[in-house]
Each structure stands twice: as structure tokens, then as C-alpha cells.
Chain A
């Protein structure tokens, strides 16, 4: 009996805790997108897109929602958050955030101190996409609705789509974390351009050196080539090449292919005087999706096309690497390989100063594996 009473008391004690850490979904204001900019006096401006549900929707049917945008300026991110909470009738909940937009100016500085809070708080949305916006993030997010779709969702979906097309790397707050802390590897973030008042465009890859934006953006196919050189790939990519410059009609000059990464090898060589040279070999399989000239059943022609496309891609790759070195963005993580396999060299050289001048030889081989149902 005494034992029973004791158990009863202990069980009831739990009820006295009063749900102190409860965080009801309905009491939280969901932040779906956040934009960070730097203000004139070096303070941080936080622009938050908050999803709110309209009263008239009741409990039935589809809830009517709207985006509300709040901005606040503060010394740290948490400070701006508490300023926003003052304006907001609910708790600021950034744990379902989809995109974190960094303004161009803010990205140009060291971004680590600013996004530090995302790694520190376990409840944060680490899967949120990290992007750099042309101009300010506030401007981009203030679209509110882009073509009838909420801006944060629209950005998120556009990013997913461009990732699948191998135009930008698939990065999230989580995935850049190791790169931020590693001196031997740099990263790139998607770069978004505002076109007009309610459209934007995922333009390409914003190259970062260490933890700050270099100002260089690889646009279009350049990004694709860089990703392939690094062994990254989405679902596929669409590449066009001018293979018949002598044709009169412009469409006849081109071949359009869907490319798939087959193999990528990166070799780092270091000689005795600590000269670093790198070879990157990439093999691509492509299927022809558009080629009005046809006659691909001819093996000779196919080989000629293979060679031509490989040549053009390799040239492009050389240009991309030139840009990369100019921006001093060690996207391939060559430094990491040096740390791992050639630690003496790593100690000897000053990597940020060496990287722009090392010898990187790319080679892309292309093989046509499919031509669609036409030959």
C-alpha cells in the first residue's frame, strides 16, 4: 500500500512540471525565409518572411495564408530577432526556414560570425538553402509574391530545379559548415539576380574564398563545367555546342545534349620544390537531344562530334579554372588534399597566395551514348 502511494505521488509530480518547454505549433510564427544585409553602421539587418494564417479560414478547408515581412536592425542576429518578436504577435520560429538569403555586401564580409547562431541552436533549420542575392536580400524578399507564389517557396523551388540541372551546387546551411571552417577548401553559393519587380533568376555560382564572397559569379554553363570538374552532378545538364560553324542557318550549327557525369578524377602532384600541379580528368556521357543535321549512325561523324565537343568543353574548363584561380576560390579542395597527403608542402607554402598560380590541367572527354529515337 505504501509502495502504491509512493508510485502515485511520483507519477503525479510529473504533472506538476506544467509543460514548461512546450512550444505549440499554433503559437509559433513560422519564418519561411530570412534575408540578411549589412547596414551602413555595420549593423545587421534581418528581413524575415513570416507565414500567417488568416482568421476567416477557420478550421475547415484549405487555410488561407499570407506572407508578412518584418525587418529589424541590430548588432547580432538574435538581437534583430527579439526586435522582430516585439512587432510580431507570436514566437519567432525559424526552425522551418527554407531559404537564408545573404545580401551581396554582407556576403563580401566574413559570413561566419553572422550565421554562427544557426549552428549553435539545435532547433534551427539546417536544411535551409543558403543563397547570395544581387544587391540586398531585403529587396529580393520584399517581392512577397513572385508570380502568385510566395517568394521563399519560389526561391526554394527554383534552387531545387537549378540544382537538378547541374547549374548550381546543392548547398544548405548544414553543408557549407565544414567548408567554412576548413582552410583547405572553399565553396560556392547560388547567386540570385533580381530581374524586375516580381521576377528573379538563379544566375549561377557565387565563388567564396574562405568565408567571404569574392565578387566573381560563374554564370550558366560555366557553373555546370565547374561542378563536373569537381565530380558533382544533378539529374542531368543541358549543354549546347557550336559544332558546324559553316552552316547558314544558326540552328543547324548547334548540337544540344543532355550530359551525365561518368567519371571524375583529380590528381594532385607535388614535386620536391613544393610546386603543386593538378590534373582533372572528367568523362561525360551525353545523349543528343537536338541535332538537325542528323546522320549520327555514321561512326566517323560520331567520333568527330565526340572530339569536337570534348575540345570545346576542355577549353571552357580552362577558362573556368582561370576565373577560379583569379577569384582564389579553391573549390576542388586541393588544399585539403595537400593537408592530408603532403603536409610538409602545406606547411611550407602559403596556400591563399599559391593557389592562383598553380598549374591545373583539366581534360573533359565526351562520349555520345544516345541519340534519341532518331539516328
Chain B
């Protein structure tokens, strides 16, 4: 299944529970203080509160909630009898250092053989909002936030399944980012999960900011223009994919979850398709499929037509096109590329700027550049229409990553069509389709269910059939249990 390249495959546990050095607690308080200060490089926000001669409280000021300390930690210390009630009993000083960085408060007393840890971390997080880039009309409007625990909570709340597995690991030698892999134990294929951890075990880097960082380390083909993992900020999308036997990777500090193994068509589906009735869902999916074709092919088709095969378009249209093209000084390829570059610049500028100024960009781009360029005869009217349609079509895709990929691929296709006309488009698309058919996501075919073709799984690719017809799970991620439902409409048969 997987091509195992040479090299040492370190055990899974090596990275799941990174090997820690052992250093047990010193009997003397002063030694402990000295050790902790040293291992935290005498940082000034490390507070060591001396409660008495032999007792001290340790915490990192910037990470803890002072209310927690005064309410919980101090009360418990004061009210202890023989046994102290604490969250964690730690004897290893290295482990204690790590927990301090997680926002724990430690109480060390010479009378105890362990350090008592209290979870007092400050929960600074924004509220749950709908993700900006993946809005939907109907259905859950929750989105992931930058807090890992909240994100897992969102997933767990949607699937109250005891088999939901969350496996933590720490990636990034220096950033020590907490990363969670979520999957459903009795659905996800063991081989794929093992392969994931095998690949993750090689991801020795010093800093990980988001799953996007990890993506490039574990993706099958990083040189492919197509993303082989689905990045989403929607818990419902994650849950739906977990239920098909896929896994999700979430990293602390990032609202993005990565789903794999994924196929091409997952990028054109939205939760909206499933939250609406099937006819509406089909209608929308069909339009999105069309928008892919427009985004990838329309500019090149236009170029091919006006520079090679204008006889294939109707007479009136030829005259109209000729009318707009007649006095444009540049060949169609230059026209198209320059217009698309303008468009990309505008959209890039509008993304980076604060929204009040971004509106100005819209006016400048749409009105000034759009009309002036045509009036100055630099670009033809028809090309503006084509480019605008292409842009709208590519922005209609629910995952922006795929929209950009498609827009990007239209450039080589345009060059091909300007050199060879329709033949160029055919060859260009052939190369793209060959690549799509060959591409794999964690060893599963990327272009399934079209290649390899599985008719019964085409129920939600181009159109979406009623949900009760989805009796089996897609075979792409090779789930352990392939049956999804019984007969939800059995009542009709049993009448």
C-alpha cells in the first residue's frame, strides 16, 4: 500500500509521549527553586511565592488566572489536613517545568515527596463564531477557534461516541505545540492511522504554527497543485468526514482542522448541500461543478476561439466579438493574463486591507480599472466579461484553497490554448486529469469515485441524491464498517 522508503522508522510512542529526562524532586526546597529557575532561564514572569520557610508556590504569571490561584489553590493549601487535594502529583522536575508552561501552579513543600499541581491556566479565547471563509446559509454556524480543548469539545459534542479517539502529541521541538489527531476507532482504517503516525514521527521541526505546517510534511505529493488534505474551520465538516472513516488533525493555536484521506469532490461540497432538501442540494452542487469547469477552462476556451477557431461560434457572436476585439493592440493571451493579474492584485489587496479601505479597492478595481481599460482599448469588453466570470466561478467554490488552485491551473491552460488552440486545451486538460487520477491522499485514490469509477458512490459528486440512498460509506478511506444506515424509509415498505 504505502511506499516505505528506507530510513529508521521510529516507534510511534517516541513522539506521542516524547522521551523526557528524569529528575526527581530534591529534598531541599532551595534546590528545587534553583533547578526550576534554571530550566526556565530565570524568566521574570516565573513567580515563586514563599508561603513559609519550607513551602513555596510556583507559577508563570502570564499564563495563570490569578483568581484561580486565590480561590482554588490557596484555599486548598490552607485547608489541607494530611493529604492535599490537587490536580496532579508530580515527582519529575522536567515534567513540572512543562506543566508550568501549560499554566499549572505548583506547590512544593519539604514535607511532601511530590509537587502538587493545580490547573490554573488562564483561558484567553475568542468566542465561537462562524468561519469567515466558509459561510453557509443553513445549519450549524459554529466554527473552530484557537483553543484546542474547545475545538475538541465542539467535535465531541456533535458525536457522543465512546469510540471517538483523540490522540495527543507534541510537535515542534521548540514551540512544543500540542496537536490532536481525532478519528473514530471502529471506522478509521488502521493502516491509514498507522501510516499517519509513521509520517508524523518524521516531522521533527522546531516550530509549528498551524496544521498547514504539518500538511506539507505529511502530504503524499507536495509538488502537486491539488491539496491532498482538506483544511476547514467547520466542526460539522470535520464530524461528517470522521463519520466516513477519515481522521482530522487539530493543532493548538489554530482554528484549522486538517482532514485526510480526502478526495477531490469533498472540496466542492458544503454542509449546505446536506442541510437542504436533496433537489436544492443537487442544484447547488451541479452549479459548483460547472463553476470549476468555467474557472479552469473559460479563459483558455475564449483564447482558443478568438485566435484559432472562430468558426465554431454563431455568426452574430462572431461579429460582436470581432467588434470588441478589432482595435485591441495585444494578442488575446496577453490580454487575458494581464486582466487576471489585475484581478489577483485587487483580490489580494482587498484581503489584506481593513474592510473600510477594501471597499475603496472594489470601487477602484471595478469601476476605474474595469471601464477605463476597455475605453482605452487596452483590453476588449468580451475579455473583461470572461475574466469576471472566471473570477466569480472560482470564488464560488466552498474551499478557497481549491478555488485558487483551479484559478492557478487556468494559466498554463491559457498558454497551451494560445499556442495550439483547442488541441492545446485538450492536451492541457489531459495532463491535469492524468495527474488527478494518479494522485493519492494517504494511499487512497484522490479522484475517486470518478477514477477509479464507482457508480454507487457518485451519489454526491455532481448531484446529491436523497440521504436515505447513502447506505454505504464511501470506500475511499477504506472504513472498517462500510454500512452507514439501515433502511431509514423502511416505514414505507412496512405500511
User: Is A19 a contact of B320 with CB atoms below 8 Å?
Assistant: no
User: Is B326 a contact of A26 with CB atoms below 8 Å?
Assistant: yes
User: Is B327 a contact of A96 with CB atoms below 8 Å?
Assistant: no
With a 10 A CB-CB cut-off, give which of A23, A28, A62 has the most chain B CB atoms: A23
Q: Which of A52-60, A291-299, A333-341 contacts B (4 or more CB under 8 A)?
A: A52-60
User: Which applies to chain B's interface (DSSP): helix, strand, loop or mixed?
Assistant: helix
What's the Cα separation between A32 and B322 when bound, in Å?
Answer: 13
The verdict on B286 contacting chain A, using a C-beta distance below 8 Å, is: no
User: Is B307 a contact of A53 with CB atoms below 8 Å?
Assistant: no
User: Is A63 a contact of B306 with CB atoms below 8 Å?
Assistant: no
Cβ < 8 Å to B, chain A residues 19-58: 19, 21-26, 28, 30, 32, 51, 53, 55, 57-58
Residues from chain B with a CB closer than 8 A to the CB of A53 are: 322-323, 326
Q: Rank and list the top 5 A-B pairs by shortest CB-CB distance, nearest first.
A: A63-B323, A95-B311, A26-B325, A25-B306, A53-B326
User: Is A14 a contact of B419 with CB atoms below 8 Å?
Assistant: yes
What's the Cα separation between A23 and B332 when bound, in Å?
Answer: 11
Question: Do A59 and B324 contact each other (CB < 8 Å), given the known contacts A23-B308, A24-B332, A123-B311?
Answer: yes
**Range of interface residues on B (Cβ < 8 Å):** 20 to 34
What's the Cα separation between A14 and B417 when bound, in Å?
Answer: 12
What's the Cα separation between A21 and B381 when bound, in Å?
Answer: 25
Residues from chain B with a CB closer than 8 A to the CB of A96 are: 310-311, 315, 318
Interface mask (B322-345 → A, CB under 8 Å = 1, otherwise 0): 111111100110000000000000
Residues from chain A with a CB closer than 8 A to the CB of B311 are: 95-96, 123, 125
What's the Cα separation between A123 and B381 when bound, in Å?
Answer: 27
User: Is B322 a contact of A26 with CB atoms below 8 Å?
Assistant: yes
Residues from chain A with a CB closer than 8 A to the CB of B380 are: 59
Residue of A at shortest CB range from B415?
A: A15
Question: Do A57 and B319 contact each other (CB < 8 Å), given the known contacts A19-B419, A21-B308?
Answer: no
Cβ < 8 Å to B, chain A residues 49-93: 51, 53, 55, 57-60, 62-63, 65
What's the Cα separation between A121 and B413 when bound, in Å?
Answer: 29
Interface mask (A236-279 → B, CB under 8 Å = 1, otherwise 0): 00000000000000000000000000000000000000000000
Chain A residues within 8 Å of chain B by Cβ, number: 28
Question: Do A25 and B319 contact each other (CB < 8 Å), given the known contacts A58-B377, A59-B381?
Answer: no
The verdict on A196 contacting chain B, using a C-beta distance below 8 Å, is: no
What's the Cα separation between A32 and B326 when bound, in Å?
Answer: 17
Question: Do A24 and B323 contact each other (CB < 8 Å), given the known contacts A14-B419, A15-B419, A96-B315?
Answer: no
Residues from chain B with a CB closer than 8 A to the CB of A353 are: none
What's the Cα separation between A51 and B332 when bound, in Å?
Answer: 21
User: Is B315 a contact of A98 with CB atoms below 8 Å?
Assistant: yes
What's the Cα separation between A123 and B310 when bound, in Å?
Answer: 10
Residues from chain A with a CB closer than 8 A to the CB of B415 are: 15
User: Is A60 a contact of B323 with CB atoms below 8 Å?
Assistant: no
User: Is B322 a contact of A22 with CB atoms below 8 Å?
Assistant: no
The verdict on B375 contacting chain A, using a C-beta distance below 8 Å, is: yes
Residues from chain A with a CB closer than 8 A to the CB of B307 are: 19, 22-25
Residues from chain A with a CB closer than 8 A to the CB of B381 are: 59-60
- In the assembled complex, the CB of B312 is this many whole angstroms from the nearest CB of chain A, namely 10
Residue of B at shortest CB range from A29?
A: B322
Residues from chain B with a CB closer than 8 A to the CB of A21 are: 308, 421
Query: Within the complex, which residue of A23, A24, A28, A30 is in contact with B319, where a contact is CB–CB below 8 Å?
Result: A30
- In the assembled complex, the CB of A90 is this many whole angstroms from the nearest CB of chain B, namely 10
What's the Cα separation between A62 and B421 when bound, in Å?
Answer: 27
Cβ < 8 Å to B, chain A residues 278-311: none
User: Is B377 a contact of A19 with CB atoms below 8 Å?
Assistant: no
Residue of A at shortest CB range from B333?
A: A19
Residues from chain A with a CB closer than 8 A to the CB of B321 are: 25
Residues from chain B with a CB closer than 8 A to the CB of A23 are: 307-308, 310
What's the Cα separation between A26 and B320 when bound, in Å?
Answer: 11
Question: Do A17 and B419 contact each other (CB < 8 Å), given the known contacts A25-B307, A26-B322?
Answer: yes
Residues from chain A with a CB closer than 8 A to the CB of B322 are: 25-26, 30, 51, 53, 63
Interface mask (A167-182 → B, CB under 8 Å = 1, otherwise 0): 0000000000000000
The verdict on B418 contacting chain A, using a C-beta distance below 8 Å, is: yes
What's the Cα separation between A17 and B424 when bound, in Å?
Answer: 13
Question: Do A65 and B374 contact each other (CB < 8 Å), given the known contacts A26-B328, A59-B324?
Answer: no
User: Is B377 a contact of A30 with CB atoms below 8 Å?
Assistant: no
